[in-house]
Amino acid sequence: MIGNNILWIVMRALAEEGGQEVGDMGGTFAMLSSMLPLVLIVVVMYFMMIRPQRRKDKRVKEMLSQLKNGDRVTTIGGIYGTIVGIKDDTVTLAVGADKVKIVFERRAIRNVEEVSIENDGEMLN
């Protein structure tokens, strides 16, 4: 209701400035007022869905670019390991008590662990 009133005032001022009759602006007003909800939905979707996803993608990209040897990481498959080598887009992890080396793509790293998590194989010995 308030949006329609503001839009009507703006349209009336534009019509008077341009020398048109206010009645001629009815079609334009109707078109703009019918598009207003669609524009609001797009704006809300941007702030509720698109913007947070972009922030998350930026944080993940930053985390992947800062990987270094010795970091304890978790892969997207749930494997815990320690980084022993990094080349371009591949990361080599040492996993388990035997320090088995597994090669992953850099993007397969889900997160860097803040607290050291012992592998089950390491606890058995």
Report yes or no: 64 and 107 within 8 Å, Cβ to Cβ: yes
Pick from 119, 73, 115: which is nearest to 105 by CA? 73
Q: What is the pLDDT of residue 29?
A: 72
Same domain, 59 and 45: yes
- Phi and psi at residue 74, to the nearest 5°: -120, 135
Same domain, 49 and 27: yes
Same domain, 54 and 97: no
Sheet architecture: strand order including 109-112: 100-105, 90-95, 80-87, 72-75, 109-112
Domain residues for 47?
Answer: 2-64
> What distance in Å separates the CA atoms of residue 20 and residue 12, rounded to the nearest whole number?
9
80 token code pair = 């815990």
Same domain, 59 and 8: yes
CATH of the domain at 120: 2.30.30
Pick from 70, 63, 69: which is nearest to 109 by CA? 63
| Predicted confidence (pLDDT) per residue in 27-49, tens digit | 777 777 788 888 899 999 998 99
Residue 24, pLDDT > 90, answer: no
Contact partners, residue 68, CB within 8 Å, separation at least 6: 83, 86
Domain count, the chain: 2
Helix, strand, coil percentages in the chain from 3-state DSSP, rounded to 5: 55, 20, 20
| Predicted confidence (pLDDT) per residue in 64-117, tens digit | 999 999 999 999 999 999 999 999 899 999 999 999 999 999 999 999 987 655
